[in-house]
Structure 1
Amino acid sequence: MNHSLGIAIETLVAALLVITIGYCMLLNTRLKRLKADEHSLKATIAELITATEIAERAIGGLKHTVRDVNEHLGSQLAAANQMAEHLRKQLAEGDNVVRRLSKIAIAARPAADAPEPVAAKVTPAKALAEAAQAFSERRRSNGLAA
């Protein structure tokens, strides 16, 4: 009986050793996969760091470009505002000239002129041109240059 108990214990120990060896092989394959994943993860992290550095440089360049554009746009806006003010003044002066020419044209018409028939209407541009012509002739007849 001693021999059978010894063989049973030895068989049990051998079975446990076989199970342990099998489990160690399983753990070894898992560790190899984990190492491979670690290398690929390190490569991914390195690529991410490189991409982050490139993005940071691009953001710096964009900030510089925005600053330059802002300065350039500011000077262009100031010039545009000056030009708009100049044009507004010129338009006001043009309005004044047109009003004076209209008054001169009205004053230059002889009182004996009858109103024109409806069929022969004169456009405002023609009336203005005629008024200017009458004004220049009147100034010349007085000896003044127009």
Structure 2
Amino acid sequence: MSHGLGIAIESLVAVLLTVTIGYCWLLNKRLQRLKADEHSLKATIAELITATEIAERAIGGLKHTVRDVNENLGTQLAEATQMSIQLRNALAEGDNVVRRLSKIALAARPAEPAAPAAPPAPKVSTARAVAAAAEAFTERRRASGLAA
């Protein structure tokens, strides 16, 4: 019986060794796949690092561009504000000139005799009257050779 028991134990050890060898083979295959995945993961990480560096440089360039645009916009805004003030002053001066011209045109008109039979003239708006007076004034100046 001891001889049969020895063979049974040896057979059991052989089976266990066969199972162990099979399991080691399976683990080896899994480790190979893991190493292949590790290499692809390293390549992916390297690409991500490169893309991140490119994005950081692009963001730096955009910040620089925004700073330049902000400075240019600030100077243009200041110039536009100054020009707006100049235009406002020029418009006020032009309004004063038109008022003086209308006073001159009204003063230069000969007195018209009142005609009772004539129907009353339609009322002309103040702006149209000023424009007509200005046109008459410029026509008189052109006729005398003083206006260009």
Q: TM-score range by the shorter chain?
A: 0.7 to 0.9
Shift of 1:106: 2.1
Q: Which amino acid aligns with 1:70?
A: N
Q: Deviations over 1:123-142 (max 9, x none)?
A: 443333124556x59xx8xx
Shift of 1:30: 0.4
> How high is the TM-score relative to the length of structure 1?
0.81
> How high is the TM-score relative to the length of structure 2?
0.80
Q: Does 1:55 align with 2:55?
A: yes
- What aligned pairs does 1:44-83 form with structure 2 within 5 A after superposition? 44-83=44-83
Structure 2: 5+ residue runs without aligned partners? none
The secondary structure found in structure 1 opposite 2:112 is coil
Is the 2:101–2:133 contact (alpha carbons within 8 Å) kept by the matching residues of 1?
no
Q: Which amino acid aligns with 2:136?
A: E
Q: Which amino acid aligns with 1:126?
A: A
* Residues in 2 aligned to 1:128 and 1:41: alpha-carbon distance in whole angstroms: 84
* Number of equivalenced pairs: 138
Q: Deviations over 1:77-131 (max 9, x none)?
A: 111111111111100001111111122222222232558644xx79443333124
C-alpha distance 113-42 of structure 1, shift in aligned 2 (>3 A):
farther
Report percent identity of matched pairs.
71
* Residues in 2 aligned to 1:53 and 1:13: alpha-carbon distance in whole angstroms: 58
Counterpart for residue 85 of structure 2: 85
Q: Does 1:127 align with 2:136?
A: no
Structure 1: 5+ residue runs without aligned partners? none
Counterpart for residue 23 of structure 1: 23
Is the 1:108–1:131 contact (alpha carbons within 8 Å) kept by the matching residues of 2?
no
* Residues in 2 aligned to 1:116 and 1:54: alpha-carbon distance in whole angstroms: 82
C-alpha distance 116-100 of structure 1, shift in aligned 2 (>3 A):
farther
RMSD over aligned CA atoms reads 2.7
Is the 1:101–1:132 contact (alpha carbons within 8 Å) kept by the matching residues of 2?
no
Q: Deviations over 1:23-80 (max 9, x none)?
A: 1011001000000011111111111111111111111111111121122111111111
* Residues in 1 aligned to 2:28 and 2:48: alpha-carbon distance in whole angstroms: 30
Instruction: Out of 56-65 and 88-97, give the one that drifted further.
Output: 56-65
